[in-house]
Chain A
Amino acid sequence: MSLSYVLEPPASGFSFENSTRNAIVENSLGNGNVKTPSPLKTGTTIAGVVYKDGVVLGADTRATSSEVVADKMCAKIHYIAPNIYCCGAGTAADTEKTTEMLSSNLAIFSMNSGRNPRLVMAANILQDILFRHKGQIGAHLILGGVDCTGSHLYTVGPYGSMDKMPYLAMGSGDLAAMGILEDGFKLNMELADAKTLVRDAIHAGIMSDLGSGNNIDICVISRKGVDYIRPFQESQFNDKRQRKYKYKAGTTPVLSETIVPLKLDLVEETVQLMETA
């Protein structure tokens, strides 16, 4: 008796089978009325600045799903290594997973070699991943940290292009943030000035861009360690909840109660010895 199907193991990597289907649906079948659903994007403002002793990264905390705010306290500054953090803009899932993959890679490298990872290595790995996927991973990342060669700030785009600069802004609010950074940046700033500059840049993004908002997170990375201040500044427009949504015990009356005990019989018992050598 022949099988009516063949079991295929899932192929590794991305499957682009649906891309052509989506293109056909959008273009011909629906007469232009059918739109494929769009993924959750973090319309975002992220910024980074190199100061005297290290790097200051900043981000807003709003994640949007079209015109609704999906998450008011989204964490956009991701942990990569003890001395490296990464801000992500673009598709929320893509930035999350790409930074997690990078973090795992660097952790394995650290364990194998016994060395702390360097920023160039992180940037190269990101560039490699994103270039291989030809822009299908919508991740616009700002990578910052301090290693034995100094403090560095990199940006990696979704197609795999990399730039190294002393100050950067990305996301939908980056035009506003870049204006503040271009005006206020100086080389070798003090920590307080750098934090104020990044806060001002993110604030400009929040004020001028609909996709950015709520609170501001700041992450300071220096040779001494990391100071992840979340939130650095809370939104002044935070609403107070008008009522509680938890119901008191007893709100729903219980009319009757039936208890049915399950009868279980022991069918088979096996003992497997563990190898504890």
Chain B
Amino acid sequence: MALCTGANQTEPLSQNHDLVPDWTAHEVRTGTTIMAVEFDGGVVMGADSRTTTGAYIANRVTDKLTPIHDRIFCCRSGSAADTQAIADVVAYQLDLHSIVMNEPPQVKTAANLFRRFCYRYREELMAGIIVAGWDKRGGGQVFTVPIGGMLVRQPVAVGGSGSSYIYGFVDENFKPGMSKEECLCFTGKALALAMERDGSSGGVARLAAITEAGLERSVILGNQLPTFSSS
């Protein structure tokens, strides 16, 4: 008796069922704030930790900074299922490529793999991804692959629903030539501001600094986030 209703992906079976709450019909989204900054010698990436299904927070401690290779990470925003699947596919393709080339992969290769996948399946996917990392030839690089499958390299990239609230802050406070610690502080403040204003962003702020030497991950807990005069 299990008929499927309609071809619309976001409205599956439980439309009129009182016993099952409405949010079970919604897809899991990372309504998000993600950010990445280049500095001389590497990149700093940051993300909030909230995953929502409708109005319910399905995971309040999500890790949206996903490793693609040893020195290349991606920040995921959009549909949780889509971005997890894309990251798995690209990680596999990049691993194979790196074995074939017999050297660590370049960040722009990873970014291009993401772009190819996101552009080809743009109608079916809902994914906004920031790819960042370090490689020997280009140093620290940040690429943004928003919904639709564009690819653009930027010194600082923000994404997700919370990014709208921090464009002004980022434009005003980003300076080329910052150090790693300054970048971490800048990213932490930007995420805190976005999490304060955007309902779909929150939880803890996860940061990662990627350099030639390796990877340093840190977490700023909710009560340790910087506070601002208006709050």
Contacts and interface: CB of A to CB of B under 8 A. Distances in A.
Contact of B1 (A37, A130, A134, A162): A37
Interface in B167-200: none
Interface residues of B, number: 35
B19 A22 contact: no
Contact of B6 (A19, A35, A211): A19
B16 A43 contact: no
B59 A165 contact: yes
Contact of A211 (B13, B19, B84): B19
A16 B4 CA distance: 8
A41 B1 contact: no
B4 A136 contact: yes
A105 interface: no
Contact of A210 (B12, B19, B56): B19
B95 interface: no
A48 interface: no
Most chain A CB within 10 A, of B9, B16, B24, B82, is at B24
Contacts of A22: 3-6
Given A39-B1, A91-B2, A163-B51, A16 B19 contact: no
A127 B84 contact: yes
B85 interface: yes
Contacts of A140: 24
Interface string B11-54: 01110111111001001100000000000000000000001010
Contacts of A210: 18-19
B84 A161 contact: yes
Interface of A: 16, 18-20, 22-23, 26, 35-41, 43, 64, 66-67, 90-91, 93-94, 127, 130-131, 134-136, 138, 140, 157-163, 165, 172, 175, 209-211
19 contacts: A16-B7, A40-B2, A41-B20, A66-B19, A131-B81, A134-B9, A135-B12, A136-B4, A136-B12, A138-B13, A157-B81, A160-B85, A161-B28, A161-B81, A163-B62, A165-B61, A172-B19, A172-B20, A172-B24
